[in-house]
Amino acid sequence: MTKILVIAEHTGAALNPSVAKCVACATQVDGADIDIAVLGASVAGVGAEAAQISGVTRVVTVERAENDPAIAAILAPQIVALASDYSHVFGPSTAFGKDLMPRVAALLGVNQISDIMSVDGSHRFKRPIYAGNAVVAVEAPSDHKVVATVRTASYQAAQGGNSAPVESVDLDVELPTHTRFVGIETGQSDRPDLQAAAKVVSGGRALASEENFELIYKLADKLGAAIGSSRAAVDAGYVPPETQVGQTGQIIAPDLYFAIGISGAIQHITGIKDAGTIVAINKDEEAPIFEVADIGLVGDLFSIVPELTDALG
Ligand SMILES: Cc1cc2nc3c(=O)[nH]c(=O)nc-3n(C[C@H](O)[C@H](O)[C@H](O)COP(=O)(O)OP(=O)(O)OC[C@H]3O[C@@H](n4cnc5c(N)ncnc54)[C@H](O)[C@@H]3O)c2cc1C
């Protein structure tokens, strides 16, 4: 029997949107029973939120003081203990999942399947390779537990409206002491979250300074959009690294994406393959970004962007 355990990413107060996307992926596996595991120090609220996701049979919560902050080395052995009842363990292909799931796979003695973008069978999946320029089918041995990350940009979140039972579980698992939490530094922003935003405005090297990025912020504010960037803009110090879109940044799927002064290198494009409408502003009409753009404006961003921002009122 196919039983899939989805590992929930959450803040302790709210569920990450990646969870409903992992569930959407899990529902593509024929006849699968889908449970969600929520590990934390105090996760009753998050567990209740998870129980609303359509297609979920049961939510399992594991509450332990050591789970806050949730570091992968501490979570992994607990997930391995939960996994004995399951044929599959799925996590998101986010920083959280990329940190955690390889540890789970290693402790279970299996290879991880990374970045599932579609399901061909219970042990056969498709995933992108070469910065998204090719798609490969990968198959796990049928007698192995499948430990996988899900490419969240490939899935629409499963709907809400469910009321699955929530069960609190005590695990008798010895936790490792070799890794401890020291601290976390995160950028604070009132703008929409890049991963979850329906609209994203991204700027590239052409902005030429941190100050000029103000143009991008103003347009984004008018649109209620999140801020993105190319790696060149990050490397030049114009914007913080968490804004980077692409192969080594964030893979996103907004409804509307603005690429402003961005050439359209494959490593950038791989981060926006699943975007709805792509608008490109570039002074070079031969720029590769125009090959993927739905709407292209050829010209100087320093005149087009302020005009566009003003036109939005
Ligand atoms: C292993 C690896 C991983 C990478 N990962 C990423 C990644 O995750 N994300 C990413 O973005 N890149 C990534 N890169 C880098 C990538 O190859 C490109 O170098 C980078 O995307 C270029 O950024 P850019 O488009 O801002 O700059 P450029 O390539 O320099 O392009 C600037 C563009 O702005 C246009 N322009 C200049 N002035 C103006 C103006 N006044 N008005 C309008 N247009 C103007 C130019 O015509 C040009 O097209 C990676 C590279 C490698 C090797």
pLDDT of residue 133: 84
pLDDT tops 90 at residue 131:
no
Matching residue, tokens 């405005």: 201
Instruction: Calculate what percentage of the chain has a pLDDT beyond 70.
Output: 100
pLDDT in tens, 151-168: 999 999 999 999 999 999
CA–centroid distance, residue 131 to ligand 1 (Å): 15
Identify whether 189 is part of a domain: no
Identify whether 227 is part of a domain: yes
Contact 260, 293 (CB under 8 A): no
Q: Is 145 found in the same domain as 30?
A: yes
Contact 8, 19 (CB under 8 A): yes
Identify whether 173 is part of a domain: no
Q: How confident is the model at residue 259 (pLDDT cuts 50, 70, 90)?
A: very high
Identify whether 19 is part of a domain: yes
Q: How confident is the model at residue 186 (pLDDT cuts 50, 70, 90)?
A: confident
pLDDT of residue 130: 86
Q: Is 11 found in the same domain as 150?
A: yes
Q: Whose CA is nearest to atom 23 of ligand 1?
A: 232
Angstrom distance (rounded) from CA 230 to CA 85: 43
Q: Provide mean pLDDT across the span 241-245.
A: 95
Q: Provide mean pLDDT across the span 295-312.
A: 97
Q: Is 26 found in the same domain as 147?
A: yes
Q: Is 158 found in the same domain as 12?
A: yes
Strand, helix or coil at 66?
helix
**The total number of structural domains that make up the chain:** 2
pLDDT of residue 204: 98
Q: Is 154 found in the same domain as 260?
A: no
Q: Whose CA is nearest to atom 22 of ligand 1?
A: 232
CA 181 to the chain's CA centroid: 23
pLDDT tops 90 at residue 1:
no
Q: Is 206 found in the same domain as 162?
A: no
Domain finish residue from 118, 146, 168: 168
Q: Can you give the residue range of the structural domain that contains 82?
A: 3-168
CATH number, domain containing residue 16:
3.40.50.620
Domain finish residue from 116, 145, 168: 168
CATH number, domain containing residue 242:
3.40.50.1220
The number of helix segments (H) and strand segments (E) in the chain equals 9, 15
Q: Is 207 found in the same domain as 158?
A: no
The closest-lying atom of ligand 1 relative to the alpha carbon of residue 230 is 11
CA–centroid distance, residue 288 to ligand 1 (Å): 10
Q: Provide mean pLDDT across the span 277-303.
A: 98
Identify whether 193 is part of a domain: no
Q: Is 209 found in the same domain as 154?
A: no
Binding pocket residue ranges, ligand 1, CB within 6 Å: 204-206, 230-233, 244-249, 261-263, 265, 267-268, 271, 281-284, 287, 300-302
Q: Is 281 found in the same domain as 137?
A: no
Matching residue, tokens 């209620």: 224
Q: Which of 174, 168, 138, 18 shows the shortest CA–CA distance to 90?
A: 18
Identify whether 184 is part of a domain: no
- For the chain, the straight-line distance linking the first and the last C-alpha, in angstroms and rounded, comes to 57
Supply the pTM of this predicted model. Answer: 0.85
Identify whether 186 is part of a domain: no
Query: Alpha helix locations (H) across the chain?
Result: 18-26, 44-50, 72-83, 95-108, 214-223, 231-235, 266-269, 289-292, 301-311
Matching residue, tokens 């103003």: 218
The closest-lying atom of ligand 1 relative to the alpha carbon of residue 266 is 17
Q: Whose CA is nearest to atom 19 of ligand 1?
A: 232
pLDDT in tens, 56-91: 999 999 999 999 998 999 999 999 999 999 999 999
Q: Is 26 found in the same domain as 71?
A: yes
